[in-house]
Structure 1
Amino acid sequence: MRRVIGWFVSNPVAANLLMTILIAGGVISIFQIRQEEMPPIDLDMVSVNVPYLGAAPEEVENGVNLRIEEALEGGQGIYRMTSTSSEGGGAVLLELETNANRIQTANEIKSQIDAISTFPVETERPVVSLLTMINDGLEIAISGDADERTLKELALEVRDEIAALEGVSSVEVAYVRPDEISIEVSEQTLRRMGLTFDQVANAVRRTSLDMPGGSIRSGAGEILLRTQGQAYTGEDFRDIVVVSREDGTRVYLDEIATIIDGFQEGETQARFDGMPAAIVRVNQVGDEDVVEISETVRAYVEETRGRMPDGIEMTIWQDESETLQARIDILLGSAATCLALVLLLLTLPLEFRLAMWVAAGIPIAMLGTIGVFGAAGITISTLSVVAFILVLGIVVDDAIVVGERVYAHEQQGKDQFTAAVEGTAEVAVPVIFGVLTTMAAFTPLMFAPGNLGQLLSVIGYVVVICLIFSIIESQLILPAHLAHRRVSTSKQDVNALHGIWRRLQRRVSTGIERFAHDVFGPALDRVMEVRYTALALGFSVLLVAVGLVLSDRIEVQFMPAIEGDAIVARVEMPEGVDVEQTARAARQIEEAALQLKAELDAAYPDRPSLIEHIFTSVGQTLGGRFRAGPQSHTAELVLSILPLSERGNVSVTDMTDRWRELTGPVYDSVSLTFSSTGLTVGDAIAIQLQGRNVDDLANAAAELRAELARFDGVQDITDSFRAGKQEAKLSLLPEGRQLGLTLNDLARQARQAFYGEEVQRVQRGAEDIRVMVRYPEAERRSLGDLEDMRIRAQDGTEIPFAAVADIELGRGYSSITRVDRQRVVTVSADVDRDVVTPEAVLRTLSADTLPRILSGYRGIGYSLTGEQEQRNESFTGLFNLIPLALLMIYALLAIPLRSYVQPLVIMSIIPFGAVGAIIGHLVMGWSIIITSIFGLISMAGVVVNSSLVLVDYINRQRRMGVDLRIAVHRASVVRFRPILITSSTTFAGLMPLMLNDNPATAFFVPMSISLGWGVLFATGITLFLVPCLYLIVEDLFPTEPALARQYA
Structure 2
Amino acid sequence: MHRAIAWFARNSVAANLLMFILVLAGVLALFTVHQQTFPNIDPDVVMVNVPYLGAAPEEVEQGVCVRIEEAVEGTEGIKKVRSSATEGQCNVIIELTEDAIPIQALNEIKSKIDAINTFPRETEKPIVSKLAIRHGVMDLVLFGDVDERTLKEIGTRVRDEVSALPGVSQVSLSYVRPYEISIEVSETTLRRHGLTLERVADIIRRTSLDMPGGNIKTSGGEILLRTKGQAYTGREFEDIVVLTGSDGGAKVLLREIATVIDGFEEGDLAARYNGVPAVVVKVSRIGKEDIIGISDTVKAYVDRLVPTLPQAIQLDIWQDESKILRDRISSLLATGAGGLVLVMLILSMFLRFRLAMWVAAGIPIAMLGTVAMFPYFDIEISMLAIMAFILVLGIIVDDAIVVGERVYAHEIMGKPPIRAAIDGTWEVSTPVIFGVLTTMAAFLPLIISSGRMADVFGTIGWIVIISLVFSIIESQLILPAHLAHRNHETSHATIGRAWTRLQDSLSGAMGDFASQVYRPFLQKALAWRYLTTATGVAVLILVMGMIGSGRIVFSFFPPVEGDIVFATLEMPAGTSIETTTEAVKLIEAGAKQLRAELDAGLADGQPSRVKAILSSIGTHLDRGPGPPRLPQPGRSNYADVAMELIPANQRDMLASRDVGDRWREIVGAIPDAVKLSYSSDSFTAGNALDFQLAGRDIDQLREAAAEVRAELSRYDGVFDISDSFRAGKQEIKLSLLPEALNWGVALNDLARQTRAAFYGVEAQRIQRGQDDVRVMVRFPEDERRSIGNLEDMRIRTADGTEVPFTSVATFELGRGFSTINRLDGRRVINVTADIDRTIARPESVIASMLNESIPEILRHYPDISIGLAGEQEERATAMASLALGAVLALVIIYTLLAVPLRSYIQPLVIMSVIPFGAVGAILGHYIMDTGLMFFSLLGIIALSGVVVNASLVLVDYINRRRREGVELVEAVATAGVVRFRPIILTSVTTFIGLLPMLSRGGDPTTAFIIPMAISLAFGVLFATVITLILVPCLYLIVEDYITWGELDREARLADQDAAYDTAQASMQPAMGGGGN
TM range (shorter): over 0.9
How far apart are 1:603 and its partner, in Å? 4.6
Residues 238 and 253 in structure 1, CA contact (< 8 A), matched pair in contact too: yes
- Name 1:676's counterpart in structure 2: 680
CA distance in 1, matches of 2:99, 2:1044: 48
**Residue 622 (structure 2) pairs with residue 623 (structure 1):** yes
- Per the alignment, residue 529 of structure 2 pairs with 531
Quote the residue 1:895 is aligned against: 899
User: CA–CA distance in 2 between the matches of 1:484 and 1:329?
Assistant: 36
2:31 corresponding residue in structure 1:
31
Q: What is the CA–CA distance in structure 1 between the aligned matches of 2:284 and 2:836, rounded to whole Å?
A: 32
Separation of aligned partners in 2, 1:1036 and 1:106: 62
Q: Matched residue of 1:310: which SS? A: coil
1:1035 alignment partner, one of 1034, 1040, 1044: 1040
Is 1:176–1:626's contact at 8 Å kept on the other side of the alignment? no
> Does the alignment pair 1:280 with 2:288?
no
Q: Secondary structure of the equivalent of 1:587? A: helix
Q: Secondary structure at the residue paired with 2:381?
A: coil
Output one character per residue of 1:976-1030: Cα deviation in whole Å (capped at 9) or x when no partner. Answer: 1100000010011111112212121122111001111111111111111111222
Indicate which of 788, 800, 805 corresponds to 1:801.
805
**Residue of structure 1 equivalent to 2:344:** 343
Q: Deviation of residue 709 (structure 1)? A: 4.5
Match of 2:440 in 1: 439
Match of 1:1044 in 2: none
Cα separation, 2, equivalents of 1:955 and 1:1040 = 20
- Per the alignment, residue 1046 of structure 1 pairs with none
Tell me how far 1:1036 sits from its aligned partner.
2.3
Please give the alpha-carbon distance, in whole angstroms, between the structure 2 residues aligned to 1:420 and 1:822.
70
Give yes or no for the alignment of 1:1002 onto 2:1001: no
> Quick check: 2:558–2:684 contact (8 Å CA) kept in 1?
no
CA positional deviation for 1:294 = 1.7
Contact 2:8 2:477 in 1 (8 A): yes
Distance 1:239 1:280 in 2: 35
* Paired residue type of 2:479: L
Give how far 1:567 is off. Answer: 0.5
Equivalent residue in structure 2 for 1:569, among 559, 567, 570: 567
Cα separation, partners in 2 of 1:255 and 1:408, compared to 1, 3 Å: same
Could you give the per-residue CA deviations for residues 514-560 of structure 1, whole angstroms, max 9, x where no partner exists?
21122211211111112222222222122112211122221000112
1:750 aligns with 2:720: no
When the two chains are superposed, the root-mean-square deviation of aligned CA atoms in Å is 1.8
- 1:389 matches 2:390: yes
For 2:1043 and 2:30, locate their aligned partners in 1 and report how far apart those are by CA, in whole Å.
Answer: 56
C-alpha distance in structure 2 between counterparts of 1:659 and 1:836, whole Å: 25
Where does residue 557 of structure 2 map in the other structure?
559
**Amino acid aligned to 1:123:** T
String of CA shifts for 1:421-470, please: whole Å, max 9, x gaps. 11011111111111111111111111211121211210011111111111
Q: Residue 585 of structure 1 corresponds to which residue in structure 2?
A: 583
Residues of 1 paired with 2:93 and 2:483: CA distance? Answer: 61
Match of 2:723 in 1: 719
CA shift at 1:242, angstroms? 1.4
Q: Aligned-pair distance for 1:703?
A: 3.8
Give yes or no for the alignment of 1:940 onto 2:955.
no
Asked if structure 2 preserves the Cα contact closer than 8 Å seen for 1:11 and 1:480, the reply is yes
Give, in angstroms, the shift of residue 1033 of structure 1.
1.9
Inter-partner Cα distance in structure 2 for 1:464 and 1:833? 35
In 1, are the aligned partners of 2:34 and 2:288 still within 8 Å (CA)?
Answer: yes
SS of 2:465 mapped into structure 1:
helix
* Superposed CA offset, 1:876-909 (max 9, x none): 1111111111111111111212222221111111
Deviations 1:678-699 (A, max 9, x none): 2112223222122333223223
Residue 212 of structure 2 is aligned to residue 212 of structure 1: yes
Which deviations, in whole Å up to 9, do the C-alpha atoms of 1:156-192 show, x marking residues without a partner?
1111111111221101110101111111111011001
Contact map agreement 2:268 2:633 (CA 8 A) in 1: no
- The AA in structure 2 aligned to 1:316 is I
Q: Deviations over 1:55-85 (max 9, x none)?
A: 1111111111111222222332222221211
Counterpart position of 2:141: 141
Given that 1:143 and 1:277 are in contact with CA atoms closer than 8 Å, whether structure 2 keeps it comes out as yes
| SS of aligned partner of 2:957 | helix
> Which residue type is aligned with residue 1033 of structure 2?
C
CA shift at 1:850, angstroms? 3.9
Deviations 1:904-962 (Å, cap 9, x if unpaired)?
A: 11111111111111111111111110100110111011111111111111121122222
The range that moved more, 910-919 or 616-625, is 616-625
Residues 655-693 of structure 1 show CA distances to partners (whole Å, capped at 9, x for unaligned) of 110001111111001111111012112223222122333
Aligned to 1:1045: none
Moved over 6 A (4+): none
Distance verdict in 2 for CA 1:585–1:706, change over 3 Å: farther
Match of 2:611 in 1: 612
- In structure 2, what is the Cα distance between the partners aligned to 1:1019 and 1:1002? 27
In 2: Cα distance, 1:513 partner to 1:167 partner:
61
For residues 276-425 of structure 1, the aligned pairs below 5 Å read: 276-425=277-426
The aligned counterpart of 2:60 is: 60
Specify whether residues 388 and 633 from structure 1 end up closer, same or farther in structure 2 by C-alpha distance, changes over 3 A only: same
Aligned to 2:1071: none
Q: Secondary structure at the match of 1:348?
A: helix
1:115 aligned partner: 115
Q: Give SS of 1:291's match.
A: helix
Whole-Å separation in 2 of the counterparts to 1:163 and 1:1039: 81
- Partner Cα separation in structure 2 for residue 292 and residue 927 of structure 1: 39
Alpha-carbon distance in 2 for matches of 1:341, 1:408: 24
Please tell me whether the aligned partners of residues 132 and 286 of structure 2 are also in contact (alpha carbons under 8 angstroms).
Answer: no
Whether the 8 Å contact between 2:559 and 2:685 is mirrored in structure 1 is no
Alignment partner of 1:818: what SS?
A: strand
Q: Distance in 1 between matches of 2:1045 and 2:618?
A: 77
- 1:979-1018 pair list within 5 angstroms: 979-997=983-1001, 998-1018=1003-1023
What is the CA-CA distance between 1:763 and the residue it aligns to? 1.1
**Cα offsets for 1:584-624 (capped at 9, x unmatched):** 11111111111111110115446311111001111122539
Aligned-pair distance for 1:1037?
2.6
Cα distance between partner residues in 1 of 2:687 and 2:158: 36
Which residue number corresponds to residue 1065 of structure 2? Answer: none
> 1:344 offset after TM fit, Å?
1.5
Q: 1:776: how far off?
A: 1.0
Give distance in 2, aligned partners of 1:706 and 1:256: 59
Q: For 2:493, what is the secondary structure of its paired residue?
A: coil
Query: Could you tell me which residue of structure 1 aligns to residue 1027 of structure 2?
Result: 1022
Deviates more, 1:60-69 or 1:835-844: 835-844
Q: Matched residues in 2 for 1:139 and 1:706: separation?
A: 42
Instruction: Report how far residue 638 of structure 1 moved.
Output: 0.7
Contact 1:79–1:94 (8 Å) recurs in 2: yes
Q: Report the Cα distance in structure 1 between the residues aligned to 2:253 and 2:409, rounded to whole angstroms.
A: 103
Secondary structure at the residue paired with 1:577?
A: coil
Matches for 1:504-519 after TM superposition, within 5 Å: 504-519=502-517
Question: Which residue in 1 is equivalent to 2:154?
Answer: 154
User: Which SS does the other structure have where 2:247 is aligned?
Assistant: coil
Q: Would the aligned equivalents of 2:648 and 2:654 in 1 still touch at CA under 8 Å? A: no
Q: Confirm or deny: 8 A CA contact 1:434 1:945 kept in the other structure.
A: yes
Q: 1:3 maps to which residue? A: 3
**Structure 1 Cα separation of the partners of residues 665 and 773 of structure 2:** 44
Q: Secondary structure, in 3 states, of the residue corresponding to 1:615?
A: strand
Aligned equivalent of 2:671: 667
Unpaired segments of 5 or more residues in structure 2?
624-628, 1047-1076
Contact 2:172–2:283 (CA under 8 A) maintained in structure 1? yes
Q: For residues 844 and 562 of structure 2, what CA distance do their matches in structure 1 show? A: 24
Aligned ranges 1:717-796 → 2 under 5 Å: 717-796=721-800
Aligned residue type for 1:806: T
> What is the match of residue 176 of structure 1?
176
Letter in 2 for 1:396: V
Secondary structure at the counterpart of residue 394 of structure 1: coil
Give 1:950's match in structure 2, choosing from 930, 954, 958: 954
**Equivalents in 2 of 1:558, 1:317: separation in Å?**
32
1:854 is displaced (CA, Å) by: 4.8
Q: Are 1:672 and 1:716, in contact at CA under 8 Å, matched by a contact in 2?
A: no
Show CA shifts across 1:370-402 (max 9, x none): 112122211111110000000000000000000
